[in-house]
Amino acid sequence: MAMRDLFNMRFRRAAAGLLIAVVAMYCEVGEIPLPLVGTLDRALYDARLQIQAVKPNSRVVIVDIDERSLAEQGHWPWSRERMAHLTQVLTDQGGARAVGLDLVFAEPQPRDDLTLARALEGQPVAVGYYFSSELGAVATGQLPRPVWPASALAEKGLKVTSWNGYGANVTPIARSAKASGFFNPVVDRDGVVRSLPLLAEYRGQLYESFAVSVLRIYFGNAPIQMSTDGLNASSLGFGLKGQQARIPVSADSTALVPFLGAGGAGSSRFRYVSATDVLEGRVEPRLFRDRIVLVGTSAPGLSDLRSTPVSEVYPGVEVHASLIAGALEGTLRTRPPEAPTIAALVIMVVGFTAALAMSGAGVAGVVGMTVLGLTTLMGWNAVAFAKMGWVMPLATSVLALLLIAVTNLVAGYVIEGRARRAVINLFGEYVAPQLVERMTLDPHNVPMESQSKELTIVFADIRGFTRMAEKMDPQQLRDYLNRFLTAMTEVIHAYDGTVDKYIGDAVMAFWGAPVDDPHHADRAVAAAIAMQEEVERLNQEFAALGWPKLHVGIGINSGIVRVGDMGSRLRRSYTVIGDAVNLASRIQGLSKEFRLPIAIGDATRMSVRSMALQFVAQAEIKGRSEPVGLWTPVQFEAHRHDWSSDGLADETGPVTEPLKATEPALTVTTELQRVA
């Protein structure tokens, strides 16, 4: 494959990857809602909560109106008198520092309302209520005083949920409670509660949530303080001297709930106490001293069970308890307003790097870089979560990286397929099948364009073929020649050689290309010996058929040549050209004059390291100023053949008497191993 084509393919792969990264950045910064991205981000966030270890919290206790309480105390709603008694046990007797009733007393009970109101008077108790977003929603009960005007959040660049109605407590109870807070959760698209709003807007005023009201009471009815932390992130703060708590505020004025464990009475996160045990005096009141006590229900019939990341059935009161505990422990995390911008920068770094690096990689490289990229993304996200308290979007960058990888794998498959087909088409007829298979594993590293390279070239020619052709039937001659060429080609392939071409009754081959081979000279000589052995085997077959005896002369030479895909626009082939090729052909011609089955030039002799060679003579070659040294394998020196004895001497002239050897044989002990 041409380097220009390869470059263009890699450029297109890189451009496609960069485009994917840019689109992902745009979607992240523009906060374009993509269902798949949102689903994956939520799943990753939920998985992180599910694997966290549960740490018990002793500062928050939950008094649970459970099924046993309903069985012993009667169906819900209980009388205001019973609720007043429960509150007094927690406050007067128990000494709770803050009590939150995750309940709403919206239906008036004229005789009992004052009883509960008197029990709440002056006590650190917060009651709950709810907002409604339905069109035409009614407003019942009495709202508490607002915290701030809605414009206060606009100045901070924060948004807030707005509501159309509410269901609050009856007036006597609302006025007697130290504070009131709404307990509406934020339900995501998949029906799961992951966060709670801290503030809500109703008719231009802001109201505090149930968890915020309980925390304020815990800190001595401290006012809410809104501050701006690093990176423009905001938080709500409460505190007394020496004690404080902060709740990080997301851009929509919500806070992520730090869920731990499956929730409920069986969880080790919070101490659960059955409400009936408190009412019947089966619990020591000192259990509640200086603690936050939340009164809620886990009974299925009272409809306060939520779906959360850690459990599909999670008591609503524990959702508030988890947020309160996280504020006291300092374990709350937030989605900073700058999260999309930071995520886009991460995509730019990882995505751009992957797009450029994968464009030139194979399957293993793409897979390796994908794993490295995913590890980097998830590692950074985990560090941001654990060390900085940031919940950063991850899905967009993960999907972008996977899409870049898939694009490169698909493109690579197509490109590799084209490259493999090109290799097979070009080399299938010249090169041994095992070498073609090796080349198709990495087709881009197979040189297609011509290059200068040191090779060893072999010419093998049938002696006396002209006279043989005059005496044989054309069909017999065709079969004779086909058997010879097939046998020689099989030997060449067996020794990892490349067949260049058939020239009438001759075969031209070379070693050292297209696959690099530092032992090309040794393999070529070994192949020539095997070719002569194959000639002897063929002669046995030919004798049985009554065909003429086969004599073959082989010439070998090494040198720098030009090798590659060459030819015209109409026809091309993988071949070699150069002076070393011409000299190999001339040496093959000299093999007849010196009666040598195998004639080897000086350049090849200098490269051979695995067998003994015998010097034969210095031969003059027409057109060359310097004589050429001829060598032959030692085992062939004693078996020179006079082809004239078979009546097959070439018509160009008589056989020349060889010169005497003037140099000893070169013997090397290393044995050349044939490559299968």
Does 649 have pLDDT greater than 60? no
Does 374 have pLDDT greater than 50? yes
Residue 309: pLDDT band with limits 50, 70, 90: very high
Does 246 have pLDDT greater than 60? yes
Question: pLDDT tens digits for 50-61?
Answer: 988 888 999 999
Sheet strands (E) in 116-178: 125-132, 139-140, 148-149, 161-162, 165-167
The pLDDT value given to residue 666: 40
| Residue pointed to by tokens 């899905």 | 395
The pLDDT value given to residue 672: 36
Residue 325: pLDDT band with limits 50, 70, 90: very high
Phi/psi of residue 421, nearest 5 degrees: -65, -35
Does 76 have pLDDT greater than 70? yes
CA atoms of 211 and 350, how far apart (whole Å):
40
Q: Under CATH, what is the fold of the domain 447-646?
A: Alpha-Beta Plaits (3.30.70)
Query: Among candidates 347, 391, 392, 393, which has minimal Cα distance to 373?
Result: 347
The pLDDT value given to residue 6: 47
Residue 654: pLDDT band with limits 50, 70, 90: very low
Residue 437: pLDDT band with limits 50, 70, 90: low
Range of weakest confidence among 237-251, 344-358, 613-627: 237-251
Question: pLDDT tens digits for 342-373?
Answer: 888 888 888 888 888 887 777 788 889 889 98
Please state, rounded to an integer, the average pLDDT across all residues of the chain.
83
Does 670 have pLDDT greater than 60? no
- The residue-averaged pLDDT of 1-10 equals 51
8 A C-beta contact, residue 497 and residue 456? no
Query: Among candidates 176, 170, 166, which has minimal Cα distance to 99?
Result: 176
Q: Is it true that the peptide bond before 309 is cis, omega within 30 degrees of 0?
A: no
The pLDDT value given to residue 3: 44
What whole-number percentage of the chain has pLDDT above 70? Answer: 84
Beta-bridged to residue 114, according to DSSP, are none
CA atoms of 290 and 216, how far apart (whole Å):
14
Query: Which two tokens mark 501?
Result: 């071409």
Residue 210: pLDDT band with limits 50, 70, 90: very high
Query: What is each CA distance from 370 to 382, 404, 444, 579, in whole angstroms?
Result: 18, 9, 22, 50
- The residue-averaged pLDDT of 452-480 equals 91
Sequence-distant (6+) residues with CB within 8 A of 227 are 234, 235, 237
Q: Give me the helices (H) in 1-79, please.
A: 3-29, 35-50, 67-73
Question: pLDDT tens digits for 517-570?
Answer: 899 999 999 999 999 999 999 999 999 998 999 999 999 999 999 988 787 777
The total number of residues written for the chain in this structure: 676
CB atoms inside a 10 Å sphere around CB 211: 31
Query: Among candidates 73, 99, 59, 49, which has minimal Cα distance to 263?
Result: 49
Question: pLDDT tens digits for 403-413?
Answer: 888 888 877 66
The pLDDT value given to residue 676: 29
8 A C-beta contact, residue 542 and residue 480? yes
- Helices 339-358 and 3-29: crossing angle in degrees, nearest 10, is 170
8 A C-beta contact, residue 607 and residue 616? no
Rounded to a whole number of angstroms, the CA Rg of the chain reads 46
Residue 62: pLDDT band with limits 50, 70, 90: very high
The pLDDT value given to residue 446: 54
Residue 626: pLDDT band with limits 50, 70, 90: confident
Does 582 have pLDDT greater than 50? yes
Query: Among candidates 248, 226, 246, 209, which has minimal Cα distance to 336?
Result: 248
The pLDDT value given to residue 8: 57
SS3 272: strand
Does 377 have pLDDT greater than 50? yes
Q: What are the extents of the domains in the chain?
A: 3-33+338-424, 46-329, 447-646
* pTM of the entire predicted model: 0.63
Does 673 have pLDDT greater than 60? no
Query: Among candidates 623, 537, 634, which has minimal Cα distance to 585?
Result: 623
Q: Which residue has the higher pLDDT, 423 or 502?
A: 502
Does 671 have pLDDT greater than 60? no
- The residue-averaged pLDDT of 567-595 equals 87
CB atoms inside a 10 Å sphere around CB 159: 14
Query: Which two tokens mark 406?
Result: 């898939």
